Amino acid sequence: MIRCQTPLDGSENYQRPNDGSSVAERWFNLQNAHEEERRIRDRFASTLAISASIIAAVRLARDENISRPSPRLTSVIHDSVSLARMILDKIIR
């Protein structure tokens, strides 16, 4: 059995949970929590990419040539990602 003398976050007031769960059960729960966080992060990342793509498409719809990188294209994409991120942050809160 591995025992942790000090908590990983550096705090001195660490107390081991006394809920009767085994180390394996706590490890399993921790892994599930991390997996759920990763899924949520991935979902938001794809939502952000789709939203930014739609915003950029609408803003660039009237431009004749967007096949080559240009300062305008870079600026519109950057602004679209920023706007999509701002909108997503407002929705989450």
Q: How confident is the model at residue 1 (pLDDT cuts 50, 70, 90)?
A: very low
Report pLDDT digits (tens) over 43-57: 888 888 899 999 999
For the chain, the structural domain boundaries read 23-92
Spatial distance between the Cα atoms of 37 and 48, rounded to a whole number of angstroms: 16
pLDDT tens digits, residue range 6-47? 555 555 555 555 666 677 787 777 888 888 888 877 788 888
Among 24, 26, 31, 76, smallest CA distance to 55 is for 76
Q: Side chain identity at 29, as an amino acid letter?
A: N
Q: How far apart are CA 26 and CA 91, in angstroms?
A: 32
Ramachandran quadrant class, 63 (left: phi over 0; alpha: psi -120 to 50; beta: rest)? beta
